């Protein structure tokens, strides 16, 4: 029990402490107002606006680097960390020999011949660029090759893989099942079938994607038609017949600015030029007999067009919108599919009917080498190449 005087003292001390606290609070109050004013005047207090991508691309795909150049990631020697230590090689599928010839591009010598499945048509870099898939069309399988070690893996069962593409977000592989008349969407890694899209045209074989990756254009070789396919919905949303009797469309490639698609036609002997967005009637550009493969230069200024039926390569200038050069292979040949070297200085093409491969200087058009390979060489891959990811075929990189 406390004494009354002690109680009084305690109450007095408590009241004094309260007054001191109020005085301090009053001081703090004024100070906090000052700081609040400061805060209102400070720009850092406002969160920065979220930066919007320049192109509203397919969900999950890497952002478009330059809306004026879909090939901006493909500059000379710009190898991604994934592929920078891979040895430089040229992989040639020999359709009639059921082999892949491996060439050292620095010596132009054949260093290995790999047995694969029946009728290999194309060698295709995977979306993540870690695997090369050999498309054994009649063998109904894909043979994986490790481009780092050259080791061949166990073949994966895939029916009728005439050609192979990947959705820009890396989710699906798209098998061009030419004889089955199907586009087959498969898991990009396991190759498990996810969705089958039957098509009414005949001979689906080549394709390329729009700038935003939301659709792709497919050529149908045996019925002379083109398809427009919605990538996300995995659905054909457009179909047209080319305005040429007996048309046989082959390779497809988009212009650097993403506004046009070019479709090689081996029977019309030239290239169809198409607005992919409107999917309207294309105009025609004559190049040469048996027009076949389309390859963009590393500076995105030119496109090399192989004319298989006459042994020539036409050069198209994108800015001038016209053909500017034509190169003749000495003694002729049958230039078909291929690719450009990582430094952009050499164009490699298979000689489909001559069991050989051509290396051509992209500055002069001079033939640097002509190398004997197996029978029926077709969609060769020059690897590694610049870019962030692969869309398939013999190497379409973004």
- State the chain's mean pLDDT as an integer: 91
Residue 9's pLDDT is what? 47
Q: Is the pLDDT of residue 39 over 80?
A: no
Other C-beta atoms lying within 10 Å of the C-beta of residue 190: 10
pLDDT at 52: 72
The distance in angstroms from the start CA to the end CA of the chain is: 87
Query: What pLDDT, on a 0 to 100 scale, did the predictor assign at position 4?
Result: 47
pLDDT(295) > 50: yes
Confidence band (pLDDT; 50, 70, 90) for 43? low
Cα 81 from chain centroid (whole Å): 17
Burial of residue 10 (number of CB atoms within 10 Å: 0-12, 13-18, 19+): exposed
Q: Give the distance from CA 361 to its chain's centroid.
A: 24
What does the pLDDT read at residue 53? Answer: 74
> What are the tokens at 390?
């692969």
Homologous superfamily assigned to 87-395? YVTN repeat-like/Quinoprotein amine dehydrogenase (2.130.10.10)
Backbone conformation region of residue 175, classed left if phi is above 0, alpha if psi is from -120 to 50, else beta: beta
Instruction: Work out the number of other CB atoms within 10 angstroms of the CB of residue 1.
Output: 3
Please give the share of the chain, as a percent, with pLDDT higher than 90. Answer: 86
Instruction: Write out pLDDT tens, residues 100-136.
Output: 999 999 999 999 999 999 999 999 999 999 999 999 9
Q: Say what the pLDDT of residue 27 is.
A: 39
The pLDDT value given to residue 84: 96
Q: Return the pLDDT at 358.
A: 98
User: Quick one: which of 280, 277, 315 has its CA closest to 294?
Assistant: 315
pLDDT at 359 over 90: yes
For residues 27-55, average pLDDT: 56
Which pLDDT tens digit goes with each residue over 207-240? 999 999 999 999 999 999 999 999 999 999 999 9
pLDDT in tens, 268-281: 999 999 999 999 99
Asked whether residue 51 carries a pLDDT value surpassing 90, the answer given is no
pLDDT at 177 over 90: yes
List the chain domain ranges.
87-395
pLDDT at residue 390 above 50?
A: yes
**pLDDT classification of 46: cutoffs 50, 70, 90:** low
Q: What is the mean pLDDT of residues 188-217?
A: 97
Q: The tokens of 6 are what?
A: 């002690």
CB 161 within 8 A of CB 137: yes
Q: What would the pLDDT profile of 309-344 be if each residue is shown by its tens digit?
A: 999 999 999 999 999 999 999 999 999 999 999 999
pLDDT at 10: 54
pLDDT for position 303? 98
pLDDT at 44: 59
Q: Is the pLDDT of residue 82 over 90?
A: yes
pLDDT band of residue 369 (cuts 50, 70, 90) is: very high
Q: Is the pLDDT of residue 3 over 70?
A: no
Going edge to edge, which strands form the sheet with 270-274? 249-254, 261-265, 270-274, 283-286
């Amino acid at each position: 029990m406390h004494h009354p005087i002690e109680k009084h003292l305690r109450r007095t001390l408590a009241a004094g402490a309260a007054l001191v606290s109020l005085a301090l609070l009053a001081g703090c109050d004024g100070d906090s107002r000052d700081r609040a004013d400061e805060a209102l005047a400070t720009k850092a207090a406002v969160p920065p606006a979220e930066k919007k991508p320049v192109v509203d691309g397919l969900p999950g795909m890497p952002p478009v680097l330059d809306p004026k150049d879909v090939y901006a990631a493909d500059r000379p020697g710009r190898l991604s960390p994934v592929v920078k230590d891979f040895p430089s090689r040229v992989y040639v599928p020999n359709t009639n020999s059921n082999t892949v010839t491996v060439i050292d591009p620095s010596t132009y010598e054949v260093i290995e011949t790999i047995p694969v499945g029946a009728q290999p048509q194309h060698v295709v870099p995977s979306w993540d660029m870690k695997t090369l898939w050999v498309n054994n069309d009649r063998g109904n399988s894909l043979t994986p090759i490790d481009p780092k070690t050259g080791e061949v893996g166990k073949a994966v069962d895939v029916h009728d893989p005439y050609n192979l593409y990947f959705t820009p977000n890396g989710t699906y592989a798209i098998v061009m099942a030419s004889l089955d008349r199907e586009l087959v969407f498969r898991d990009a890694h396991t190759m498990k079938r996810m969705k089958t899209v039957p098509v009414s045209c005949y001979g689906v074989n080549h394709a390329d994607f729009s700038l935003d990756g939301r659709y792709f254009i497919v050529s149908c070789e045996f019925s002379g038609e083109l398809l427009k396919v919605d990538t996300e919905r995995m659905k054909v949303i457009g179909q047209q017949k080319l305005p040429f009797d007996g048309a046989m469309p082959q390779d497809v490639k988009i212009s650097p600015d993403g506004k046009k698609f070019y479709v090689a036609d081996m029977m019309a002997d030239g290239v169809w030029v198409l607005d992919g967005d409107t999917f309207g009637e294309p105009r025609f550009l004559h190049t040469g007999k048996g027009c076949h493969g389309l390859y963009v230069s590393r500076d995105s200024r030119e496109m090399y067009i192989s004319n298989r039926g006459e042994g020539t390569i036409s050069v198209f200038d994108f800015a001038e919108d016209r053909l500017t050069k034509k190169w003749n292979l000495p003694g002729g040949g049958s230039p078909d599919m291929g690719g450009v070297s990582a430094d952009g200085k050499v164009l490699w093409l298979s000689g489909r009917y001559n069991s050989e491969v051509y290396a051509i200087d992209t500055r002069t058009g001079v033939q640097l080498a002509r190398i004997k390979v197996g029978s029926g060489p077709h969609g060769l891959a020059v690897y590694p190449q610049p870019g962030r990811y692969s869309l398939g075929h013999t190497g379409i990189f973004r």
